[in-house]
């Protein structure tokens, strides 16, 4: 089997580490190079993962690689995707695929024009509890689903995430896209309306973006959704955050904790307890499918259009907050 050669564009997003580790663990896959506009960071990551650093983006895209993973700041996704698509690379782009609908549509259009595969990094679809829950819903175990309550909490990442010019928004932007994608995937319905209240409740001294969003969504068929997105976890918390979903149906209620496959570890070096996951790696599943899509010359399972739909929901949430009205998606 021929070797699939993949490069990573930017380590600005922390998920780049997991994707790089997943690439290194796969047979017949080579992490060929790393490009980063932060040369110090790029060189350090290249050394850590045993590959080369290429400072010039054009030179990086001219390498003999079939694909790239883009994990830059949200606002820089479009430029990198358009350049990579023009170079004929298959692309996996970090979520949100873009902070604006205009940029997300341009990303999808650029890849369609270049006839390259485009995937959005929504690794939660590879969480075994969510896969099992979707199977139950698909089998009709709940009957008609009437409502869903969801959370996606996390620690405040700081840095460029708190710079709206680079991120497009705060916790509501960062965390709602995951839940919006899961709702579409698990229920097979589009989100039609959004209302949102948001604010900065816990990090007023350090953040200019929202750290809490209370989002109400309506799906096709009238399914009602209540979702809380936040950067509310303290640094000492057991893990980075959570994704929970409670589905209320005509035949019963199904509660899902996406990251509940864990054990509690008392770490004396850290001076606190941590949750160590024992379930399958979400990043491994996401990256394995992306590599398969490159080999098979197909779109990844989670497409660029999936990323566009999630961006439509988050931008509608911010519009709803500004106007004080329910916004159609």
Euclidean distance between CA atoms 224 and 205, whole angstroms: 35
Assigned CATH class of 125-281+311-328? alpha beta
* Res 71: pLDDT: 98
List, in order, residues 6 or more apart from 302 with CB less than 8 Å away: 119, 120, 121, 122, 125, 181, 286, 289
* Res 108: pLDDT: 98
The CATH 3.30.360.10 domain(s) of the chain lie at: 125-281+311-328
List, in order, residues 6 or more apart from 273 with CB less than 8 Å away: 238, 264, 265, 266, 267
* Res 235: pLDDT: 82
Planar angle of CA 314, 294, 132, nearest 5 degrees: 55
Contact predicate 310/95, CB 8 Å: yes
Q: Tell me the angle at which helices 304-323 and 101-114 cross, rounded to the nearest 10 degrees.
A: 170
Chosen CATH of 4-122+283-302 out of 3.30.565.10, 3.40.50.720, 3.40.630.30, 3.50.50.60: 3.40.50.720
> Over the chain (329 residues), what is each successive 10-residue block's mean pLDDT?
95 97 96 98 98 98 98 98 98 98 98 98 96 98 98 93 94 97 98 96 86 97 98 84 94 95 89 85 96 97 98 98 97
The CATH 3.40.50.720 domain(s) of the chain lie at: 4-122+283-302
* Res 279: pLDDT: 85
Q: Which 3 state secondary structure label does DSSP give 221?
A: helix
Euclidean distance between CA atoms 263 and 185, whole angstroms: 28
Q: What is the DSSP string of 89-122?
A: -EEEEESSS-SSHHHHHHHHHHHHHHT--EEEE-
* Res 168: pLDDT: 96
* Res 201: pLDDT: 87
In terms of Cα–Cα distance, which of 81, 88, 94 is closest to 12? 94
pTM of the model: 0.96
């Amino acid at each position: 089997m021929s070797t699939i050669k993949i490069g990573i564009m930017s380590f600005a997003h922390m998920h780049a580490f997991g994707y790089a580790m997943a690439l290194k663990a796969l047979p017949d896959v080579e992490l060929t190079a790393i490009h980063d506009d932060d040369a110090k960071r790029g060189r350090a990551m290249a050394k850590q993962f045993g590959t080369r650093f290429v400072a010039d983006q054009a030179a990086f895209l001219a390498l003999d690689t079939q694909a790239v993973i883009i994990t830059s700041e949200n606002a820089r996704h479009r430029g990198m995707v358009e350049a990579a698509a023009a170079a004929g690379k298959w692309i996996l782009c970090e979520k949100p695929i873009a902070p604006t609908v205009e940029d997300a549509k341009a990303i999808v259009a650029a890849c369609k024009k270049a006839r390259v595969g485009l995937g959005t990094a929504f690794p939660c679809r590879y969480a075994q509890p969510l896969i099992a829950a979707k199977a139950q819903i698909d089998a009709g175990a709940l009957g008609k689903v009437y409502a869903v309550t969801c959370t996606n909490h996390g620690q405040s990442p700081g840095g460029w995430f708190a710079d709206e010019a680079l991120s497009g928004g705060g916790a509501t932007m960062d965390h709602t896209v995951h839940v919006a994608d899961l709702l579409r995937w698990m229920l097979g319905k589009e989100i039609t309306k959004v209302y949102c209240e948001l604010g900065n409740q816990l990090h007023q001294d350090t953040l200019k973006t929202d750290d809490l969003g209370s989002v109400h969504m309506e799906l096709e068929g009238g399914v009602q959704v209540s979702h809380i997105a936040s950067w509310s976890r303290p640094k000492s918390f057991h893990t980075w955050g959570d994704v929970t979903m409670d589905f209320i149906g005509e035949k019963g209620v199904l509660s899902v904790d996406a990251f509940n496959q864990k054990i509690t570890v008392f770490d004396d070096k850290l001076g606190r307890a941590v949750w160590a996951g024992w379930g399958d790696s979400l990043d491994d599943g996401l990256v394995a499918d992306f590599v398969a899509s490159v080999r098979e010359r197909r779109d990844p399972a989670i497409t660029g259009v999936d990323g566009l739909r999630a961006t439509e929901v988050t931008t509608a949430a911010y519009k709803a907050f500004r106007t004080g009205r329910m916004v159609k998606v």
